Structure 1
Amino acid sequence: MTRLIVAAGGGGDAVAAAVLDAALYGGSGEPAVILTYAWDRLLVDPLPGPRGPDSFTGLAPLTRGVWTVPASARPIAPAGSTLPRLASELPHTFALLDPRHGAAGITHQLDALVRHLRPKSIDLLDVGGDILAKGDEPTLRSPLADALTLASCYQLDRSIRLLIAGPGLDGEIPAVDLADRMGPPILTLTADHIEPISAVLEWHPSEATGMLAATARGARGLCEVRDAGLPVPLTDQSPGLHEADLHQALQRNELARALLPTETLGQAEQRSRAICGYSEIDYERNKANWLNSQPNRKPDPTRTLHCLDEFQEEARHRGITHTTFRRITEALGIVGKQRQTLRKLLISHRPNQYEAPLWRISPGA
């Protein structure tokens, strides 16, 4: 028997699931199976929305309707995915969560997977806590993936524990607003908990999991994230892991309740538009069109460092102490594969400002 961890939003939640597995269950049997979306947003995948099994070669069948993503799997161009590399660097099995058939389809996948694995525990993990949203919060940006997994897990006739890591770190629901929606911390992550994924953090683009790791290592301050430059506090509470009531979360989350009967991703999008006023995949579609129109030029070191200095000076006036590489690339207009080129350039020229995996606005000693 093994354990099953459902990464609620895909992307960085899958990396955080590996941390959770080691922190809570380390040394008790084989590594967990992590069920996750292949949904890396536009930082890795130029195509909007999540990827299904038909977007990969080399997947391995696990059970009815569920495929694993081994290290040898490859996304079919132009699609992109971090999952094969995660599978090559972490000991966990990554199973593909496919939302193309809505919440009903995910529930069928979960049921088949649980019947096959007979796991001794099932955890649903969300980094940041927007899975605990009501749906009308003005700061909410990407509720669809989490609401789909919440609705699907609710319909599964099994005991599932809902866990929130790093409350507020996704920049969507402030930590103070989440305090009465979850219990006290069951664990506070430390640098030792982060060590198993330290190599992954050097390339994985997740902002929320990156901040979770940074705060576990001791980073404190105000971190600016995303293209909009949202300020996210890094506090002593940030590396906390909390348990929340799954049934209460569904009763609070209007979007998740509306998604319960959905049988297609299109239906799920329509309900998101009706309740939240938007679909995050629409945002990705619009941004993908814009990114495709931008030149993919290699950053000029001198000009780039000058623009960085200007950005940092403005950030200091906003009270910002840290930022993410995603935020820097957005602010400096760097797109596509040149994002990694920029990252290497900055670290090589300003190593004292690299507080892995974040960028510190003011250099260290």
Structure 2
Amino acid sequence: MTRLIVAAGGGGDAVAAAMVDTALNRDAEPAVVLTYAWDRLLIDPVPGPRGPANFTGLKAITPSVYAVPGDARPIAPAGSTLPRLAAELPHTFALIDPHAGVHGITQQLQDLIEHLAPDTIDLLDVGGDILAKGDEPTLRSPLGDALTLAACCQLSVPVRLLIAGPGLDGELPAEQLHERLGPKLLSLTAEHTEPVSSVLEWHPSEATAMLAATARGTRGLCEVRDAGLSVPLTDEGPALHQADLDDALSRNELARAVLSTTSLEEAEQHSREICGYSEIDYERNKAMWLGNQDERELDPGAVFRELDQFEEEARGRGITHTTFRRLTEALGYSGSQRTQLRELLISNRPEQYQAPLWHISEGV
């Protein structure tokens, strides 16, 4: 039995796909995961998603679709988590190339489906922002989801839309999603996170980290991103729902607008018109700002003084947990220092590490 999972929005959805695949098909062969190479600026200093031309060592599956094996490498200055993901997990990770717009993604999907003849095709989104209308003020990264949704809706074969961890991406609150979700299929458990345990130690995805944490029983209020958004960690966190694909397209104005696009630039312009921004513009501006910043020396004494102050303020906001991405940016360090900072904190205060999140201390 061959299964295809389309990771709707990026690298975090690809990691979640491995968890969902374990939950739904424990004893079957690992699924093929079609995913973007779009790791944001913590990993990739180049704004926007990467295409095949940005890698060496890819393997052609079809004329339009390439697998990213463990020995593939992004071409500098680009960065990508996909080769390491492929090296650590048994799944085949195939690359979505969005540079020819939805037309190109649809062709890639059609080629892959013809080649694989999969028994099932799932479109997976962590958090549920794929169910947005497009004008919600809390949306931050709707473009990737809109492109994959639009492409999947043009296929002549059935596609199941799966939503894992409603609200965990910090974009649409879980209560706003309830009426848009279909039946609950299952709740992920700690057992389902085991295959990706090593990945969660280094992968930067915040939504998938919270998905795994809630599956392991963590509850509270988690602060994420550079903006410090707070995301509730509840019993609904590890839930996996099925939603209606056609309803999602009819609701998602951006997805409908990009249906006939033939370039990523064209899709970006639709995002600016409908959502008021392009997330790649945000990445461009942030990359320029980061390029003008000097990297701070990671001094342990300063780190723990600043951490104590951050935690005191976070407790005042009712925060119980945070991500290492949030800590890295809140303490003023660069994305390249995230791993070093994480290792420093865990080695000195292991009791606060509730994998893969950081638990805010209770204070004195």
TM > 0.5 between the two?
Answer: yes
Q: In structure 1, what residue type is equivalent to 2:299?
A: D
2:328–2:335 Cα contact (<8 Å) kept = no
Query: What is aligned with 1:107?
Result: 106
Cα distance between partner residues in 2 of 1:117 and 1:176: 38
Residues 1-365 of structure 1 aligned to structure 2 (within 5 Å): 1-28=1-28, 30-362=29-361
1:201–1:357 Cα contact (<8 Å) kept = yes
Q: In structure 1, what residue type is equivalent to 2:127?
A: G
Query: Where does structure 1 differ by over 6 angstroms across 4 or more consecutive aligned residues?
Result: none
Shift of 1:10: 1.2
Shift of 1:64: 2.0
Shift of 1:93: 0.2
Shift of 1:11: 1.2
1:298–1:341 Cα contact (<8 Å) kept = no
Unaligned stretches of 5+ residues in structure 2: none
> Cα RMSD between the aligned structures?
0.9
Cα distance between partner residues in 1 of 2:113 and 2:50: 22
Shift of 1:291: 1.1
Q: In structure 2, what residue type is equivalent to 1:253?
A: N
Cα distance between partner residues in 2 of 1:209 and 1:336: 18
1:234-257 deviation per Cα after TM superposition (whole angstroms, max 9, x unaligned): 000110000000000000000000
Cα distance between partner residues in 2 of 1:167 and 1:42: 25
Q: 1:363 to 1:341 in 2, by over 3 A?
A: farther
Q: In structure 2, what residue type is equivalent to 1:139?
A: T
Cα distance between partner residues in 1 of 2:311 and 2:69: 40
Cα distance between partner residues in 2 of 1:264 and 1:292: 27
Q: Secondary structure of the residue that 1:136 maps to in structure 2?
A: coil
Shift of 1:184: 3.2
Shift of 1:297: 3.0
Cα distance between partner residues in 1 of 2:317 and 2:335: 28
Identical counterparts, % of pairs = 72
Cα distance between partner residues in 1 of 2:306 and 2:10: 32
Cα distance between partner residues in 1 of 2:30 and 2:283: 33
2:223–2:323 Cα contact (<8 Å) kept = yes
Unaligned stretches of 5+ residues in structure 1: none
Q: Secondary structure of the residue that 1:338 maps to in structure 2?
A: helix
2:42–2:336 Cα contact (<8 Å) kept = no
- The TM-score with structure 1 as length reference comes to 0.98
Shift of 1:336: 3.4
Q: In structure 2, what residue type is equivalent to 1:159?
A: P
Q: In structure 2, what residue type is equivalent to 1:25?
A: N
- The TM-score with structure 2 as length reference comes to 0.99
Q: Secondary structure of the residue that 2:175 maps to in structure 1?
A: helix
2:122–2:161 Cα contact (<8 Å) kept = yes
Cα distance between partner residues in 2 of 1:209 and 1:104: 29
Shift of 1:363: 5.9
Aligned residues between the structures: 363
Cα distance between partner residues in 2 of 1:164 and 1:15: 14
1:296–1:336 Cα contact (<8 Å) kept = no
